[in-house]
Structure 1
Amino acid sequence: MSWAVSNEELEALGQRIVADGAGAFGGYKVEFGELTLHAALPRIVDALTFLRDHQDLRFVQLVDLCGVDWPQRERRFDVVYHLLSHTKNRRVRVKLETDEDTPVPSVVDVHPCADWYEREAFDMYGIFFEGHPDLRRILTDYGFHGHPLRKDFPMSGYVEVRYDDELKRVVYEPIKMTEWRNWDFLSPWEGDERGYAPKILPGDEKAGGE
């Protein structure tokens, strides 16, 4: 049995939500069989409350909340909410834009499970959530510097961690790179003789010592 919703149905749903949302939504888009709603940042609590409580929508479950980094934009971050309606068997995505300094209203009072999701977005991207009951890091350590999922975060990080036997505690020190490599991203292996890969791969010349 197929539960797919046609693009025409999603278009109609998006139009209705924007029209009935009392200004909480700035627009919508239907792509790849999915409906994405664009929410006004100051109205995100109103937007998710409307989607949850409207009898014809009932998007009662927040499945996920995450950040996306677009460093070339003035407002570099998207905050993305994925919602599920059990009674209507539909999913919807809600997006808003923010920057490093503008906090996003917390939706913990609407969806309590947003607690840890918002902490993760804060930890990984540095997105602030105003009104969150306990906004602190959740995946990195308390002394961690920076936000690892920002696209300008160095792959080496900023500090390294080690246990100091004299101090009898963990210490943080600036990262020290003792060796730099010039990665050319070419394969050093010969082509797969079993036929699972082309007989000649980029970089195969290295196997011959060239």
Structure 2
Amino acid sequence: MSVLHSAPRIASNEGRLDALAKALGSMLLDSLEDHGEIILTVKRENIEDALRLLRDDHAYQQLVEIAGVDYPGRAERFEVVYMLLSLTENHRVMVKVSTDEATPVPTVTTLWPVAGWLEREVFDLYGVIFEGNSDLRRILTDYGFEGHPFRKDFPLTGYTELRYSEEERRVVYEPVELAQDFRTFDFMSPWEGADYVLPGDEKADSPPVDDPKTTEKASETGAGAKTDAKAAEKVSDAAPAEKDSGVEDAGAPDPTEDRKDREEREASGRDTKGATEPDEKESGE
């Protein structure tokens, strides 16, 4: 069974950018198509009117997301990005406004109630203020949290930290305890090298030898027939003889088997034959 629907499977951007730019008129600051997406930058004070026009006259019924972006080098460092979706035309459009730490952005909760949660998230993480939002509270961090995490302006090692205590059933503040000191790692490039002398490389900067010594002939190395003959000479006269010479050394002790005057020792151990050999009766012999 085939289902017919008025929305196309793949929406086209052809002619859409010019139509939306013409409709927004003086509210529009910039428009472009990048990576297959239409991006519209409007004036901050006109964001509510611009989004209402896109919703009512161009069928962008759904507010999918509100996101924040931080460009610290700009005068208006923050961008608030609105993602709109047309359910009937199967098309998306991106609308942006710029602001700074102190200038508020008009709320769009008058158009989409879900914007209240999305604006709270941007406020919590970036500190952007939305004028007209009646419930602009933190939504991800604790209510007593100072600063805004995505600004990256908080210290790496602070003074207090917060966590949820299972014992007290609430959020508690405690002094920061680090398991180890903060360390800086040097990821040295093997091609560029380090800016300091590594252990063992102290002699790397020593000047080269002007006249290096080389051995070009065998006589300079000490090798040859004369050296081989000297190495074959007998080093010691007391080397082991290949056969018995028959000469007795007066200072050498007599072999044990030649001491006939020595009495035989009495054995002090007992016979353990019974413990190691089976009994004849038990073995059946």
TM over 0.5: yes
| Conservation of the 8 A alpha-carbon contact between 1:85 and 1:91 | yes
| Conservation of the 8 A alpha-carbon contact between 1:69 and 1:76 | yes
**Structure 2 residue aligned with 1:179:** 181
| Conservation of the 8 A alpha-carbon contact between 1:35 and 1:92 | yes
**Aligned partners of 1:119 and 1:163: how far apart in 2?**
22
**Structure 2 residue aligned with 1:5:** 12
Q: How does 1:75-114 map to 2 (within 5 A)?
A: 75-114=76-115
| Conservation of the 8 A alpha-carbon contact between 2:9 and 2:90 | no
CA distance 1:20–1:2, shift in 2 (3 Å): closer
Report the structure number with the largest CA radius of gyration: 2
1:150 aligns with 2:151: yes
**Aligned partners of 1:133 and 1:85: how far apart in 2?**
27
Unpaired runs of 5+ in structure 2?
1-7, 189-199, 201-285
**Aligned partners of 1:115 and 1:137: how far apart in 2?**
11
Q: Which residue type is aligned with residue 102 of structure 1? A: T
Could you report, residue by residue, the CA deviation over 1:63-111 in whole angstroms, capped at 9, with x for unpaired residues? Answer: 0001000001110000000000011110000001000000000000111
| Conservation of the 8 A alpha-carbon contact between 1:123 and 1:136 | yes
Larger relative contact order, structure 1 or 2 (CA cutoff 8 Å, min sep 6): 1
**Structure 2 residue aligned with 1:117:** 118
Query: What is the number of equivalent residue pairs in this alignment?
Result: 181
**Structure 2 residue aligned with 1:38:** 41
| Conservation of the 8 A alpha-carbon contact between 1:71 and 1:151 | no
Q: Please give the root-mean-square deviation of Cα atoms over the aligned residues, in Å.
A: 2.8
CA distance 1:185–1:134, shift in 2 (3 Å): farther
CA distance 1:169–1:15, shift in 2 (3 Å): closer
**Structure 1 residue aligned with 2:27:** 24
CA distance 1:22–1:29, shift in 2 (3 Å): closer
**Aligned partners of 1:128 and 1:171: how far apart in 2?**
27
Normalising by structure 1, report the TM-score. 0.76
Q: Which residue type is aligned with residue 132 of structure 1? A: N
